[in-house]
Amino acid sequence: MKTYYEIKTCKIRLAVSETEMKTIQDPESAVNILRAIYADLDADQEHFTILCLNKANKVTGFKTLFSGGQDMSIVDLKVLFRNALLMGSTGLILAHNHPSGNLNASPEDLIITRKIIEGAKILDIKILDHIILGGNDSMSFREKGLIQ
């Protein structure tokens, strides 16, 4: 009996832009970038996005990884970290929106943030913040003391 192995391949494309990379100095500078990203997404759904940063906290890329319903989206850590590593991230800012406008972190938000922080430690990636966008407002986990 012969055994055959199949290797799944994937394509990676790097698009280089001549525009200056923006530096994240505080939650407000991250929110300004995130507002532009979320302007193109359906406001009635929850979306989970990562901002990828280099050692100097300059944004090197972003990706909206997950979209869900009106009150939740499922976050798959394997997909999140695969994308972070492919973009060469040394730091991440996590973000998601609450279509209801409620800026309070849900118990699920707190649990997934803790899981992401634990996984990131193993990969030597810093989680700088997790930002919730709701209406015209935002909430920073770091400013609220939910991330050290």
24-72 pLDDT tens trace: 989 999 999 999 999 989 999 999 999 999 999 999 999 999 888 777 7
Band the pLDDT of 2: cuts 50, 70, 90: confident
pLDDT at 140 over 70: yes
Q: What is the CA radius of gyration of the chain?
A: 16
What's the confidence (pLDDT) of residue 110?
Answer: 96
Q: Give the pLDDT band of residue 127 (cuts 50, 70, 90).
A: very high
Query: Which position has the token pair 């530096």?
Result: 23
pLDDT digits (tens, 9 = 90+) for 61-117: 999 998 887 777 889 999 999 999 999 999 999 999 999 999 999 999 999 999 999
| Boundaries of every domain in the chain | 30-140
Give the pLDDT score at 12: 62
At residue 68, the pLDDT reads 82
Q: Pick from 14, 17, 67, 16: which is nearest to 38 by CA?
A: 67
Q: What is the pLDDT of residue 4?
A: 74
Residue 45 near residue 99, CB atoms below 8 Å: yes
Q: Which CATH superfamily is domain 30-140 in?
A: Cytidine Deaminase, domain 2 (3.40.140.10)
Helix intervals (H) in the chain: 27-38, 77-86, 107-123
Burial 93-116 (b: 16+ CB within 10 A, else e): bbbbbbbeeebebeeebeebbeeb
Output the pTM of the full model: 0.84
- Supply the pLDDT for residue 119: 96
